[in-house]
Amino acid sequence: MPKEHTGLSLDGQGKPLWLSLEMTYRCPLKCSWCNNPLDFEDYAARELNTEEWKGVLRDGRELGALQLGFTGGEPLMRDDLEELVAYADGIGYYTNLITSGIGLTEERLLALKAAGLKQIQLSLQATKSEVTDALVGARAHALKLDAARLIKQHGFPMVLNMPVFKQNIGMIGEMVEWAAGLGIEYIEFANIQYYNWALLNRDELMPTLEQLREAERVVNEWRAKLGKAMTIYFVIPDYYEGRPKACMNGWGAIHLTVAPDGVAMPCQEARAIPGLEFQSVREKPLSWLWHESDLFRKYRGLDWLPEPCSSCSEKEKDFGGCRCQAFLLTGDAGNTDPACSRSPHHHLVQEAVAVAVKPIRFRKPLVKRSAQAVETAFMEG
Protein backbone atom coordinates (compact mmCIF):
# COMPACT_ATOMS: atom_id res chain seq x y z
CA MET A 1 0.00 0.00 0.00
CA PRO A 2 1.34 3.48 -0.77
CA LYS A 3 2.20 5.83 2.02
CA GLU A 4 0.00 8.84 2.61
CA HIS A 5 3.06 11.10 2.68
CA THR A 6 6.33 10.04 1.10
CA GLY A 7 9.66 11.56 1.99
CA LEU A 8 8.16 14.43 3.95
CA SER A 9 10.71 16.00 6.25
CA LEU A 10 10.41 19.28 8.10
CA ASP A 11 13.53 21.08 9.25
CA GLY A 12 12.70 22.96 12.39
CA GLN A 13 16.26 24.33 12.52
CA GLY A 14 16.47 23.20 16.11
CA LYS A 15 13.12 24.75 17.08
CA PRO A 16 10.02 22.99 18.43
CA LEU A 17 7.61 24.09 15.71
CA TRP A 18 4.67 22.32 17.33
CA LEU A 19 3.93 22.67 21.05
CA SER A 20 1.37 20.28 22.52
CA LEU A 21 -0.06 21.07 25.95
CA GLU A 22 -1.66 18.07 27.62
CA MET A 23 -3.76 20.13 29.97
CA THR A 24 -5.13 17.16 31.90
CA TYR A 25 -5.50 13.41 31.61
CA ARG A 26 -9.03 13.69 33.02
CA CYS A 27 -11.67 12.73 30.47
CA PRO A 28 -15.37 11.78 30.53
CA LEU A 29 -14.79 8.99 27.98
CA LYS A 30 -13.29 5.52 28.35
CA CYS A 31 -11.82 4.90 24.90
CA SER A 32 -10.08 1.55 24.48
CA TRP A 33 -7.40 3.04 22.19
CA CYS A 34 -6.53 6.08 24.33
CA ASN A 35 -2.85 6.99 24.15
CA ASN A 36 -2.74 8.54 27.61
CA PRO A 37 -0.73 6.67 30.27
CA LEU A 38 -2.26 3.60 31.89
CA ASP A 39 -1.72 5.23 35.30
CA PHE A 40 -3.56 8.42 34.26
CA GLU A 41 -5.29 8.90 37.60
CA ASP A 42 -1.96 9.50 39.35
CA TYR A 43 -1.51 12.85 37.56
CA ALA A 44 -4.73 14.64 38.57
CA ALA A 45 -3.32 16.22 41.74
CA ARG A 46 -0.10 17.34 40.01
CA GLU A 47 -1.52 19.37 37.11
CA LEU A 48 0.14 22.70 36.35
CA ASN A 49 -1.88 25.71 37.45
CA THR A 50 -2.85 28.62 35.22
CA GLU A 51 0.25 30.72 35.84
CA GLU A 52 2.55 27.74 35.35
CA TRP A 53 0.93 27.02 31.97
CA LYS A 54 1.38 30.67 31.00
CA GLY A 55 5.07 30.31 31.78
CA VAL A 56 5.23 27.28 29.47
CA LEU A 57 3.54 29.29 26.73
CA ARG A 58 6.01 32.18 27.06
CA ASP A 59 8.99 29.85 27.07
CA GLY A 60 7.66 27.97 24.07
CA ARG A 61 7.35 31.14 22.01
CA GLU A 62 10.90 32.14 22.95
CA LEU A 63 12.04 28.74 21.66
CA GLY A 64 10.30 29.43 18.35
CA ALA A 65 7.09 27.40 18.67
CA LEU A 66 4.34 28.60 16.36
CA GLN A 67 1.62 25.94 16.31
CA LEU A 68 -0.07 25.17 19.61
CA GLY A 69 -2.41 22.31 20.48
CA PHE A 70 -4.52 22.31 23.65
CA THR A 71 -5.19 18.63 24.26
CA GLY A 72 -5.56 16.06 27.01
CA GLY A 73 -7.43 13.91 28.17
CA GLU A 74 -10.20 16.40 27.59
CA PRO A 75 -8.93 20.02 27.77
CA LEU A 76 -12.48 21.33 28.27
CA MET A 77 -12.30 19.91 31.79
CA ARG A 78 -9.94 22.78 32.64
CA ASP A 79 -11.85 25.87 33.78
CA ASP A 80 -8.96 28.11 32.75
CA LEU A 81 -8.90 26.98 29.11
CA GLU A 82 -10.35 30.23 27.77
CA GLU A 83 -7.85 32.29 29.77
CA LEU A 84 -4.94 30.24 28.44
CA VAL A 85 -6.20 30.44 24.85
CA ALA A 86 -6.41 34.22 25.13
CA TYR A 87 -2.91 34.39 26.56
CA ALA A 88 -1.51 32.15 23.83
CA ASP A 89 -3.23 34.16 21.10
CA GLY A 90 -1.88 37.36 22.58
CA ILE A 91 1.75 36.22 22.31
CA GLY A 92 1.46 34.97 18.75
CA TYR A 93 0.48 31.29 18.67
CA TYR A 94 -1.82 29.71 16.10
CA THR A 95 -4.11 27.92 18.55
CA ASN A 96 -5.81 24.55 18.07
CA LEU A 97 -8.25 22.84 20.41
CA ILE A 98 -8.14 19.03 20.23
CA THR A 99 -11.33 17.78 21.84
CA SER A 100 -13.90 15.02 22.13
CA GLY A 101 -16.56 17.71 22.05
CA ILE A 102 -17.99 16.65 25.40
CA GLY A 103 -18.54 19.87 27.35
CA LEU A 104 -18.35 22.16 24.32
CA THR A 105 -21.46 24.26 24.87
CA GLU A 106 -22.28 27.26 22.69
CA GLU A 107 -21.37 29.54 25.61
CA ARG A 108 -17.90 28.02 25.91
CA LEU A 109 -17.42 27.99 22.15
CA LEU A 110 -18.20 31.70 21.91
CA ALA A 111 -15.87 32.40 24.81
CA LEU A 112 -13.09 30.45 23.10
CA LYS A 113 -13.69 32.33 19.85
CA ALA A 114 -13.53 35.65 21.69
CA ALA A 115 -10.30 34.47 23.29
CA GLY A 116 -8.76 33.99 19.85
CA LEU A 117 -9.00 30.23 19.24
CA LYS A 118 -8.18 29.60 15.59
CA GLN A 119 -9.06 25.95 14.84
CA ILE A 120 -10.77 22.93 16.39
CA GLN A 121 -10.09 19.23 15.92
CA LEU A 122 -13.07 17.14 16.95
CA SER A 123 -13.04 13.36 17.32
CA LEU A 124 -15.96 11.26 16.11
CA GLN A 125 -15.73 7.48 16.19
CA ALA A 126 -18.66 6.35 14.06
CA THR A 127 -21.72 7.43 12.09
CA LYS A 128 -24.11 5.46 14.31
CA SER A 129 -24.83 6.40 17.92
CA GLU A 130 -24.85 2.83 19.19
CA VAL A 131 -21.36 2.24 17.80
CA THR A 132 -19.85 5.52 19.05
CA ASP A 133 -21.36 5.15 22.50
CA ALA A 134 -20.22 1.55 22.86
CA LEU A 135 -16.69 2.40 21.75
CA VAL A 136 -16.20 5.38 24.09
CA GLY A 137 -18.09 3.95 27.06
CA ALA A 138 -20.50 6.88 27.35
CA ARG A 139 -23.59 8.37 25.72
CA ALA A 140 -21.53 10.73 23.62
CA HIS A 141 -22.58 10.46 19.97
CA ALA A 142 -25.36 13.06 20.03
CA LEU A 143 -23.17 15.46 22.00
CA LYS A 144 -20.39 15.09 19.43
CA LEU A 145 -22.77 15.81 16.54
CA ASP A 146 -24.07 18.90 18.35
CA ALA A 147 -20.50 20.06 18.93
CA ALA A 148 -19.65 19.64 15.24
CA ARG A 149 -22.67 21.68 14.17
CA LEU A 150 -21.84 24.44 16.64
CA ILE A 151 -18.22 24.59 15.48
CA LYS A 152 -19.26 25.08 11.86
CA GLN A 153 -22.13 27.39 12.77
CA HIS A 154 -19.66 29.77 14.40
CA GLY A 155 -17.20 29.71 11.52
CA PHE A 156 -14.27 27.73 12.91
CA PRO A 157 -11.97 25.82 10.57
CA MET A 158 -12.46 22.24 11.66
CA VAL A 159 -10.58 18.97 11.44
CA LEU A 160 -12.78 15.93 11.98
CA ASN A 161 -10.69 13.07 13.36
CA MET A 162 -11.96 9.51 13.08
CA PRO A 163 -9.69 6.93 14.72
CA VAL A 164 -9.88 3.84 12.52
CA PHE A 165 -9.97 0.23 13.65
CA LYS A 166 -11.84 -2.98 12.92
CA GLN A 167 -15.10 -1.83 14.52
CA ASN A 168 -15.63 1.28 12.38
CA ILE A 169 -13.50 0.97 9.24
CA GLY A 170 -16.58 0.12 7.16
CA MET A 171 -18.12 3.53 7.98
CA ILE A 172 -15.50 5.67 6.26
CA GLY A 173 -17.66 6.49 3.24
CA GLU A 174 -20.62 7.40 5.43
CA MET A 175 -18.39 9.64 7.55
CA VAL A 176 -17.06 11.56 4.54
CA GLU A 177 -20.59 12.06 3.23
CA TRP A 178 -21.81 13.38 6.57
CA ALA A 179 -18.78 15.69 6.98
CA ALA A 180 -19.15 17.05 3.47
CA GLY A 181 -22.79 17.88 4.16
CA LEU A 182 -21.77 19.89 7.19
CA GLY A 183 -19.07 21.79 5.29
CA ILE A 184 -16.11 20.35 7.20
CA GLU A 185 -12.84 21.28 5.46
CA TYR A 186 -10.53 18.53 6.73
CA ILE A 187 -11.12 14.95 7.76
CA GLU A 188 -8.46 12.63 9.09
CA PHE A 189 -8.88 8.87 9.13
CA ALA A 190 -6.14 7.91 11.55
CA ASN A 191 -5.47 4.20 11.75
CA ILE A 192 -4.47 4.04 15.38
CA GLN A 193 -0.99 3.38 16.68
CA TYR A 194 -0.75 0.61 19.25
CA TYR A 195 0.49 2.19 22.48
CA ASN A 196 -0.85 2.06 26.03
CA TRP A 197 -4.61 1.29 25.93
CA ALA A 198 -4.54 0.43 22.23
CA LEU A 199 -1.74 -2.07 22.81
CA LEU A 200 -3.84 -3.78 25.49
CA ASN A 201 -6.61 -4.12 22.87
CA ARG A 202 -4.52 -4.59 19.73
CA ASP A 203 -5.84 -8.02 18.77
CA GLU A 204 -9.44 -6.78 18.86
CA LEU A 205 -8.85 -3.40 17.22
CA MET A 206 -6.52 -4.14 14.31
CA PRO A 207 -8.24 -4.27 10.89
CA THR A 208 -7.22 -6.69 8.17
CA LEU A 209 -5.21 -5.74 5.10
CA GLU A 210 -8.30 -6.36 2.95
CA GLN A 211 -10.31 -3.92 5.09
CA LEU A 212 -7.59 -1.30 4.74
CA ARG A 213 -7.42 -1.68 0.98
CA GLU A 214 -11.18 -1.31 0.69
CA ALA A 215 -11.11 1.75 2.95
CA GLU A 216 -8.36 3.30 0.85
CA ARG A 217 -10.41 2.68 -2.30
CA VAL A 218 -13.41 4.44 -0.73
CA VAL A 219 -11.24 7.38 0.34
CA ASN A 220 -9.84 7.79 -3.16
CA GLU A 221 -13.35 7.75 -4.64
CA TRP A 222 -14.42 10.54 -2.32
CA ARG A 223 -11.27 12.53 -3.04
CA ALA A 224 -12.10 12.43 -6.73
CA LYS A 225 -15.72 13.35 -6.06
CA LEU A 226 -15.09 16.26 -3.67
CA GLY A 227 -11.91 17.66 -5.19
CA LYS A 228 -10.68 20.71 -3.27
CA ALA A 229 -13.86 21.05 -1.23
CA MET A 230 -12.40 18.76 1.45
CA THR A 231 -8.93 17.53 2.32
CA ILE A 232 -9.06 13.85 3.28
CA TYR A 233 -6.14 12.32 5.13
CA PHE A 234 -5.86 8.55 5.37
CA VAL A 235 -3.03 7.57 7.68
CA ILE A 236 -2.05 3.96 6.96
CA PRO A 237 -0.93 1.82 9.93
CA ASP A 238 2.76 1.01 9.82
CA TYR A 239 2.07 -2.61 10.84
CA TYR A 240 1.12 -3.18 7.20
CA GLU A 241 3.51 -0.85 5.40
CA GLY A 242 6.84 -2.61 5.84
CA ARG A 243 8.46 0.71 6.73
CA PRO A 244 8.10 2.71 9.93
CA LYS A 245 6.71 6.21 10.10
CA ALA A 246 8.99 9.17 10.75
CA CYS A 247 7.60 9.45 14.24
CA MET A 248 7.30 13.14 15.22
CA ASN A 249 9.65 13.82 12.29
CA GLY A 250 12.39 12.45 14.50
CA TRP A 251 12.87 12.41 18.27
CA GLY A 252 13.25 15.95 19.62
CA ALA A 253 13.23 17.49 16.12
CA ILE A 254 10.12 19.66 15.82
CA HIS A 255 7.64 18.42 18.42
CA LEU A 256 7.47 19.27 22.13
CA THR A 257 4.84 17.88 24.47
CA VAL A 258 4.26 19.13 28.00
CA ALA A 259 2.32 16.71 30.20
CA PRO A 260 -0.23 17.77 32.86
CA ASP A 261 2.45 17.67 35.58
CA GLY A 262 4.85 19.82 33.54
CA VAL A 263 7.13 17.04 32.29
CA ALA A 264 8.53 17.96 28.86
CA MET A 265 8.75 15.12 26.33
CA PRO A 266 9.65 14.57 22.66
CA CYS A 267 6.29 12.83 22.24
CA GLN A 268 3.29 12.05 24.41
CA GLU A 269 4.20 8.36 24.68
CA ALA A 270 7.80 8.81 25.84
CA ARG A 271 7.07 7.91 29.47
CA ALA A 272 6.38 4.36 28.31
CA ILE A 273 10.17 3.94 28.05
CA PRO A 274 11.82 3.13 31.40
CA GLY A 275 15.31 4.29 32.28
CA LEU A 276 14.89 7.80 30.87
CA GLU A 277 15.03 10.85 33.11
CA PHE A 278 11.86 12.92 32.87
CA GLN A 279 12.06 16.46 34.21
CA SER A 280 9.39 19.07 34.72
CA VAL A 281 9.22 22.75 33.86
CA ARG A 282 8.89 23.17 37.62
CA GLU A 283 12.50 21.96 37.90
CA LYS A 284 14.24 23.26 34.77
CA PRO A 285 13.58 25.95 32.15
CA LEU A 286 11.83 24.71 29.03
CA SER A 287 14.72 25.92 26.87
CA TRP A 288 17.20 23.79 28.83
CA LEU A 289 14.90 20.77 28.65
CA TRP A 290 14.61 21.11 24.86
CA HIS A 291 18.26 21.84 24.08
CA GLU A 292 20.29 20.19 26.84
CA SER A 293 18.41 17.47 28.68
CA ASP A 294 19.51 13.87 28.27
CA LEU A 295 15.92 12.97 27.40
CA PHE A 296 15.69 15.12 24.28
CA ARG A 297 19.28 14.39 23.20
CA LYS A 298 18.97 10.62 23.68
CA TYR A 299 17.62 9.72 20.21
CA ARG A 300 17.92 13.08 18.46
CA GLY A 301 19.44 13.10 14.98
CA LEU A 302 21.01 10.10 13.23
CA ASP A 303 24.30 9.34 15.00
CA TRP A 304 22.71 7.01 17.57
CA LEU A 305 21.02 4.76 14.99
CA PRO A 306 21.74 1.00 15.17
CA GLU A 307 22.10 -1.31 12.23
CA PRO A 308 20.36 -1.82 9.88
CA CYS A 309 19.23 1.82 10.23
CA SER A 310 22.67 3.44 10.30
CA SER A 311 23.53 2.18 6.81
CA CYS A 312 20.00 2.46 5.40
CA SER A 313 19.34 4.87 2.53
CA GLU A 314 15.97 5.77 4.08
CA LYS A 315 17.24 6.79 7.50
CA GLU A 316 16.71 10.49 6.83
CA LYS A 317 13.07 9.74 6.00
CA ASP A 318 12.04 7.61 8.96
CA PHE A 319 14.82 8.14 11.58
CA GLY A 320 14.59 4.49 12.57
CA GLY A 321 10.88 4.76 13.34
CA CYS A 322 9.23 5.07 16.73
CA ARG A 323 11.27 4.69 19.91
CA CYS A 324 8.20 3.95 22.03
CA GLN A 325 6.99 1.25 19.68
CA ALA A 326 10.47 -0.24 19.57
CA PHE A 327 10.47 -0.50 23.36
CA LEU A 328 6.92 -1.76 23.73
CA LEU A 329 7.46 -4.56 21.23
CA THR A 330 11.14 -5.49 21.78
CA GLY A 331 11.98 -4.23 25.27
CA ASP A 332 14.71 -1.89 23.96
CA ALA A 333 13.93 1.63 22.71
CA GLY A 334 17.24 1.67 20.84
CA ASN A 335 16.21 -1.09 18.45
CA THR A 336 15.01 -0.55 14.92
CA ASP A 337 11.23 -0.12 14.95
CA PRO A 338 9.78 -3.62 14.34
CA ALA A 339 7.33 -2.10 11.85
CA CYS A 340 10.28 -1.99 9.43
CA SER A 341 10.66 -5.12 7.31
CA ARG A 342 14.44 -4.76 7.68
CA SER A 343 14.26 -4.94 11.47
CA PRO A 344 15.48 -8.20 13.05
CA HIS A 345 12.31 -7.94 15.17
CA HIS A 346 9.86 -7.53 12.29
CA HIS A 347 8.41 -10.95 13.05
CA LEU A 348 6.74 -9.45 16.14
CA VAL A 349 4.63 -7.21 13.93
CA GLN A 350 3.92 -10.03 11.51
CA GLU A 351 2.74 -12.23 14.38
CA ALA A 352 0.43 -9.48 15.64
CA VAL A 353 -1.08 -9.07 12.17
CA ALA A 354 -1.55 -12.83 11.89
CA VAL A 355 -3.51 -12.92 15.16
CA ALA A 356 -5.70 -9.98 14.14
CA VAL A 357 -6.75 -11.59 10.85
CA LYS A 358 -7.19 -15.13 12.11
CA PRO A 359 -10.76 -16.07 11.12
CA ILE A 360 -11.48 -18.30 14.11
CA ARG A 361 -10.13 -17.27 17.47
CA PHE A 362 -11.27 -16.42 20.95
CA ARG A 363 -12.41 -12.80 21.02
CA LYS A 364 -12.02 -10.73 24.16
CA PRO A 365 -14.06 -7.69 25.20
CA LEU A 366 -12.28 -4.37 24.76
CA VAL A 367 -10.53 -3.06 27.87
CA LYS A 368 -12.10 0.35 28.54
CA ARG A 369 -10.00 3.21 29.92
CA SER A 370 -10.31 3.00 33.72
CA ALA A 371 -8.00 2.28 36.62
CA GLN A 372 -9.97 -0.83 37.59
CA ALA A 373 -9.82 -2.17 34.03
CA VAL A 374 -6.03 -1.89 33.95
CA GLU A 375 -5.67 -3.77 37.21
CA THR A 376 -7.94 -6.53 35.88
CA ALA A 377 -6.16 -6.70 32.53
CA PHE A 378 -2.74 -7.04 34.13
CA MET A 379 -3.98 -9.70 36.56
CA GLU A 380 -5.49 -11.69 33.69
CA GLY A 381 -2.39 -11.18 31.51
Is 312 a known ligand-binding residue? Answer: no
Q: What one-letter code names the amino acid at 113?
A: K
Distance CA 348, CA 337 (A): 10
Please choose, from the candidates 260, 251, 258, 213, the residue with its C-alpha nearest in 3D space to the C-alpha of residue 234: 213
**Entry field: residues in the chain:** 381
* The dihedral formed by the CA atoms of 54, 60, 61 and 66, expressed in degrees to the nearest 10: -110
b/e sequence 357-374, b meaning 16+ C-beta within 10 Å: eeeeeeeeebbbbeeebb
- Cβ neighbours of residue 159 closer than 8 Å, sequence gap 6 or more: 119, 120, 121, 122, 184, 185, 186, 187, 188
Distance CA 288, CA 139 (A): 44
Give, in order, the Cα–Cα distances in Å from 176 to each of 26, 31, 134: 30, 22, 21
CA 318, 320, 321, 324 torsion-angle sign: negative
Distance CA 67, CA 364 (A): 40
Binding site members: 27, 31, 34
Binding site members for [4Fe-4S] cluster: 27, 31, 34
